[in-house]
Amino acid sequence: DGRQFIKNAPEGKYDYVIHDVFTGGGVPPSLFSLEALQDIQRIMKHDGVLALNMVGSENPIKAQALNSVRRTLHTAFKHVVAFKESPEDPDAYQNMVFFAAQFPIEFETYVPPPVPSEEEWKEVQRQREQGHAGHALRPSVMRDWILTSFQEWHLSTPYDPTMGELILDRNNTLNGMQRPGAEDHWHAMRGLLPLEFWMNY
């Protein structure tokens, strides 16, 4: 159990904590409570960073879970920045990533690497023929696009501390808040795979 691990982990040990526990419709509420996030903050180094993934919507009708996670994160950490998967549709349920720390978070400007020369490509091919990975020089259009544009993908709605609930162990209502998103996710998955798949698996 993740809670047991962070409860027993030594203080100030980790540079980074990657918090990605989406289960296909929702997230486990116990890993998003204030107490859980405070335990994570405790086991991080003073300059450590938490990266937390969730699925949510900025649509005010559907944003209760998102607003509550934001409020709880801002209570546990001094600085939080958030990005979404796609800037085009603020109403859609989509992946969101929060970066949280006890210091202001700034991202360096990404500069795409130069295109490898012909000689470098030949060296990559030679390494492949010898059974080595030989892919370090291969350019990635997707990586370059994401790293050069993701800072434009901040959440559209500014953080408002009066929106959402503080998620606490003693009164954790995140499960209920996630129901609309879980239903949307179910319908989306039903569109991707036929009914027979779900009936059999």
Rounded to an integer, what distance in angstroms lies between the CA atom of residue 134 and that of residue 122?
A: 10
pLDDT in the model for residue 163 = 92
Over residues 21-39, the mean pLDDT reads: 88
Over residues 142-171, the mean pLDDT reads: 87
Quote the longest CA-to-CA distance of the chain.
Answer: 63
3-16 pLDDT, tens digit per residue, is 999 999 999 999 99
Strand positions, DSSP E, the chain:
14-19, 44-56, 79-84, 94-101
Rounded to an integer, what distance in angstroms lies between the CA atom of residue 98 and that of residue 69?
A: 10
Name the 3-class secondary structure at 34.
helix
39 is catalytic: no
pLDDT level of residue 45 (50, 70, 90 thresholds): very high
pLDDT level of residue 78 (50, 70, 90 thresholds): very high
Mean pLDDT lowest among 1-15, 33-47, 89-103: 89-103
Mean pLDDT lowest among 94-98, 126-130, 131-135, 143-147: 131-135
Q: Give the pTM.
A: 0.80
As a whole number of Å, the CA-based R_g of the chain is 20
Given 1, 15, 20, 184, which residue is catalytic?
A: 20
pLDDT at 82 over 70: yes
Name the 3-class secondary structure at 84.
strand
pLDDT in the model for residue 100 = 97
174, 30 Cβ separation under 8 angstroms: no
Rounded to an integer, what distance in angstroms lies between the CA atom of residue 79 and that of residue 104?
A: 6
In percent, the amount of the chain with pLDDT more than 70 equals: 91
Rounded to an integer, what distance in angstroms lies between the CA atom of residue 96 and that of residue 200?
A: 31
pLDDT at 164 over 70: yes
Between the CA of residue 95 and those of 37, 56, 85, 149, what are the distances in Å?
A: 19, 7, 5, 16
Mean pLDDT of the chain: 85
CATH topology of domain 2-110+151-181: Rossmann fold (3.40.50)
* Nearest alpha carbon to residue 45 among 14, 19, 71, 18: 14
